[in-house]
Amino acid sequence: EKWSKNMTPLPGPVKYQLRHALEKHEKLGNLRALRAYAFVYEEIIEKWIPRLLWISLFFLTYYLFF
């Protein structure tokens, strides 16, 4: 956990294990769910939730005061 405090590069064995795990899951086809989640998060949640919150705030303000 020391490397995460000062953001130095990952140690060699950690890089190897991450690369090995990624290749293993890619061969088994398990990354599709992760890619789908990343797409939903990036395209829908990051873009639309703030917009919906602002719209609902304006609507609520208008509804309560006008």
Q: Are 47 and 53 in contact (CB under 8 A)?
A: no
The DSSP letter of residue 1 is -
Give this prediction's pTM. 0.42
| pLDDT tens track for 9-58 | 778 898 999 899 888 888 887 788 778 888 888 888 888 899 999 999 99
Residue 25: Cβ-neighbour burial (10 angstroms; 0-12, 13-18, 19+): middle
* DSSP letters for 17-62: HHHHHHHHHHHHTTHHHHHHHHHHIIIIIHHHHHHHHHHHHHHHHH
